[in-house]
Amino acid sequence: MSSRAPTLEDVAREAGVSRATVSRVVNGVRNVDPAIQDLVRRAVARTGYAPNRAARSLVTRRTETVALVVSGAGDLSDEAQDAFASRVFSDPFFGRVVAGVTGYLRPRSMYPVLMFAETPEARRDVVAYLRQGRADGALVVSTHAEDALPPLLAEAELPAVLFARPARPLPLSCVDLAHRDGGHLAAERLLARGCRRSVTIAGPLAVAASQERLAGFRRTMARRGHPSVPVAEGAFTLDSGRTAMAALLDEHPDLDGVFAANDLMAQGACEVLRERDRRIPQDVAVVGLDDSSAAVTCRPPLTTVRQPVEQMAAAMARLLDEHIRGDRTEPASEIFAPELVVRDSA
Amino acid sequence: MSSRAPTLEDVAREAGVSRATVSRVVNGVRNVDPAIQDLVRRAVARTGYAPNRAARSLVTRRTETVALVVSGAGDLSDEAQDAFASRVFSDPFFGRVVAGVTGYLRPRSMYPVLMFAETPEARRDVVAYLRQGRADGALVVSTHAEDALPPLLAEAELPAVLFARPARPLPLSCVDLAHRDGGHLAAERLLARGCRRSVTIAGPLAVAASQERLAGFRRTMARRGHPSVPVAEGAFTLDSGRTAMAALLDEHPDLDGVFAANDLMAQGACEVLRERDRRIPQDVAVVGLDDSSAAVTCRPPLTTVRQPVEQMAAAMARLLDEHIRGDRTEPASEIFAPELVVRDSA
DNA sequence: GCTGCCGTATAGAGCGCTCTCCAGATGTCG
DNA sequence: CGACATCTGGAGAGCGCTCTATACGGCAGC
């Protein structure tokens, strides 16, 4: 940063043309004589010109930046909030979200701004951030149902796309998994393996996705002659999976199949099953859901229901992009189909 | 977004004062009559005014945004690069970095823009991003030694702070761990437990940190009568820890202590040890390094050398902030002390 | 040779904000 | 009571860019 950074004006002088011509060359080039284009490009290279984005944003009212918000319903202390960030990222799920989002954004020279919204104050900050035009829109991943952020965004009429349908209908686009079908696939797999005493570790029942996965699983089980399936509620964490599995084993020592509503809980379940000398899958078959890195890491590798998180996240980014550019005015929802991935655990 | 967003001008009219006065009230307030301040504040509330950041940035030449760059030496394909993002985030280490960084930034209404720089092109994009003034500086976390990004940033004289000292000296600030001391602490712990045939799983030896941890471990072992310690090289991943442990066990079936250069590899080592019916810590003591979530998740919970990643990341953000504001002109390096955390594995 | 067109470059008006400079008001002291 | 320091608010000049309206040059048609 020795002297002043070169401006359009400088390049124009260097090339012997007007500022507007340089601007046209640098951007989408409408009608510029090829010879002059070349002249300008050389001048840009010579001066090392980099367009000032603030100036551009001021007139275009675009920043080419989107917020990636990880949001919860909670009202945590500052301390708990810092822990929140690392907890969030310890779940392989978010890595996949980030991968999917950046996969779409990067080719467009857009980058996500990472924000956490675990307190009312933080949620206000997110809205303020967008209203100040520091980002063009928000991609919201909620860790809880009843997340207070989406309604705020809808009310402020800010462009936003949600991962997972909100508890209450909202005029915002979203992507989601066909959770019922996921539960169905898991049930089919356990039944196909001949499991007769299956149990399930559900996700937090306050979350719609958990409810749906459970409902899908139960319905298929019921239709196939197993009207009641023991359920333990978990929290989508490894530890909660362990606890739930232990409880289920205590009550139903003869269980022979487990569907855990995500891979992390399935992994916890596997650990407990092994500690209690159940062979997987010979004695107990285990099916997870997600197909995250945990599924591969797990011993044995998990048979699981794949949630195409990367594609879903990319679709989220695309939807937002369309809203921002005005190519899409009505909210849309894209629902993705789950898919069974067979490994060793079932 | 119904009509136009209110501007300073609108608020000024509403309050019956000049634009400059409103600006003064909204910002750091030089000398404004309290009564007028109140008047203005009310007008701001009434109009729902939110300052346009692009306009402000244009004149202040600040965006109050920093880039958080995860960078590698590689030159990956697009596909591999997408996988890179999720791999990066599956390591609990990065969650802690994010937590530390946001812990410092958020109270200052600053947010990190997430960028990956795994290809030469991506590295150019990062530099371009900063040169366009879309962010005021960069926080760089390299996954490899010989990362090509820091030299680029130094050359362009862009504000940047690194996590870990670069392979070659560079005029950039950085934070780092006293890695040798970490190796030393691990050695002391194993010796104190009476281990006489310790081995170590090193990190990738291309990384300076791995070298240092190994050197510290070896030196202490040598000084205490164990001049040669078997070493296997890992890659800081769970799987590489498993592989290394298996190899070491094959060659030294009577080993009684293991120092793994990070927790993830220690966890892999524990898994293999248990599969081969070694009790931890009775038969083999295991010490990790990091004190990440993996240390707690591991069975048994890991005795480990704590790396204060959150504080280090926060310090990184603070250093960058100081550079940006011009409060600090010379590069500085802050080295943090590791600390032994005793749990069950040693 | 004049008019009318088309295609390309230029001039110039902002975008919304900050900040310097200046005017005016008020207070202080010889 | 006048000269001067002190404080507050206002006017206005940009920051660097985009984009509309306009000028210009060349060419076809009559």
Distance in Å from C15's C1' to B162's CA comes to 37
Q: How confident is the model at residue A86 (pLDDT cuts 50, 70, 90)?
A: confident
Share of chain B above pLDDT 70, in %: 96
Cβ atoms of B312 and B177 within 8 Å: the answer is yes
Cβ atoms of A185 and A338 within 8 Å: the answer is yes
Confirm whether pTM is higher than 0.75.
yes
Q: Is the pLDDT of residue B2 over 60?
A: no
Return mean pLDDT, chain A: 91
Q: Is the pLDDT of residue A345 over 70?
A: yes
pLDDT at B81: 67
In chain A, what are the domain boundaries?
8-60, 65-176+310-336, 179-306
Best of A82, A158, A323 to mutate (most B CBs within 10 Å, chain B): A82
Poorest-confidence range of A328-342, B2-16, B221-235? B2-16
- Topology (CATH level 3) of domain B179-306: Rossmann fold (3.40.50)
Q: How confident is the model at residue B293 (pLDDT cuts 50, 70, 90)?
A: confident
Q: Which residue of B has its CA nearest to A1?
A: B157
Size of interface A-B (CB pairs under 8 A): 147
Cβ atoms of A130 and A330 within 8 Å: the answer is no
pLDDT at A76: 62
Return mean pLDDT, chain B: 92
The 10 Å Cβ neighbour count of residue B289 is 30
Contacts of B245 (CB under 8 A, 6+ apart): B201, B232, B258, B268, B269, B272, B273
Poorest-confidence range of A14-28, B67-81, B99-113, B132-146? B67-81
pLDDT digits (tens, 9 = 90+) for A136-153: 999 999 888 788 999 999
pLDDT digits (tens, 9 = 90+) for B221-244: 999 999 999 999 999 999 999 999
As a whole number, mean pLDDT of residues B259-284 equals 96
A34-64 in b/e burial notation, b at 16+ Cβ within 10 A?
Answer: eebeebbeebbeebebbbbbbbbbbeeeebb
Cβ atoms of A133 and A61 within 8 Å: the answer is yes
Which of B44, B97, B43, B49 has its CA nearest to residue B70? B97
Strand partners, B160: B138
Q: DSSP letter at A133?
A: T
Share of chain A above pLDDT 70, in %: 95
pLDDT digits (tens, 9 = 90+) for B312-340: 999 999 999 999 999 999 999 999 999 99
As a whole number, mean pLDDT of residues B205-234 equals 95
Give the residue with greater pLDDT, A310 vs B26.
Answer: A310
Paired sense of beta strands B333-336 and B173-177, if any: parallel
pLDDT at A218: 98
**Look-up of token digits 């040693």:** B346
For residue A345, the surrounding DSSP H or E stretch is none
Phi and psi angles of residue A254, each rounded to the nearest 5 degrees, phi first? -95, 15
Query: Does a cis peptide bond (omega within 30 degrees of 0) precede residue A300?
Result: yes
Q: What is the CA radius of gyration of chain A?
A: 25
Q: Is the pLDDT of residue A244 over 60?
A: yes
Taking the C-alpha atoms of residue A54 and residue A317, their distance in angstroms, rounded to an integer, is 23
User: Is the CB of A54 less than 7 A from some atom of nucleic acid strand C?
Assistant: no
Distance in Å from D13's C1' to B20's CA comes to 13
Q: DSSP letter at B327?
A: S
Q: DSSP letter at B337?
A: P
Strand partners, A116: A70
- Topology (CATH level 3) of domain A8-60: 434 Repressor (Amino-terminal Domain) (1.10.260)
Kindly list the distances between the CA atom of residue B194 and the CA atoms of B190, B197, B227, B299, B345, in Å, as whole numbers in the listed order: 7, 9, 16, 22, 14
Same fold, A65-176+310-336 and A179-306: yes
pLDDT digits (tens, 9 = 90+) for B99-140: 999 999 999 999 999 999 989 999 999 999 999 999 999 999
Contacts of A195 (CB under 8 A, 6+ apart): A256, A257, A285
Q: Is the pLDDT of residue B83 over 80?
A: no
Distance in Å from D26's C1' to A37's CA comes to 20
Residue B183 tokens read as: 């190796």
Strands (E) located in B87-179: 111-117, 137-142, 160-163, 173-177
Contacts of A60 (CB under 8 A, 6+ apart): none
With an 8 Å Cβ cutoff, are A89 and B89 in contact? yes
Kindly list the distances between the CA atom of residue A340 and the CA atoms of A3, A190, A221, B256, in Å, as whole numbers in the listed order: 60, 12, 17, 43
Nucleotide nearest to B20 (CA to C1'): D10
pLDDT at B319: 98
Give the residue with greater pLDDT, A104 vs B33.
Answer: A104
Phi and psi angles of residue B148, each rounded to the nearest 5 degrees, phi first? -85, -10
Kindly list the distances between the CA atom of residue B323 and the CA atoms of A80, B126, B172, B320, in Å, as whole numbers in the listed order: 29, 18, 10, 5
Give the residue with greater pLDDT, A74 vs B70.
Answer: B70
Q: Among the CATH numbers 3.40.50.2300, 3.40.50.720, 3.30.70.20, 3.20.20.70, which is that of A65-176+310-336?
A: 3.40.50.2300
pLDDT at A31: 73
**Look-up of token digits 């898919």:** A339
Report the footprint of strand D: residues with C-beta closer than 7 angstroms: A 4-5, 7-9, 19-20, 23, 26-27, 49, 51-52, 55-56, 58-60; B 17-21, 30-33, 36, 55, 58-59
With an 8 Å Cβ cutoff, are A92 and B94 in contact? no
Share of chain A above pLDDT 90, in %: 72
Cβ atoms of A337 and A181 within 8 Å: the answer is yes
Strands (E) located in A157-228: 160-163, 173-177, 198-202
pLDDT digits (tens, 9 = 90+) for A251-297: 999 999 999 999 999 999 999 999 999 999 999 999 999 999 889 88
Give the residue with greater pLDDT, A313 vs B30.
Answer: A313
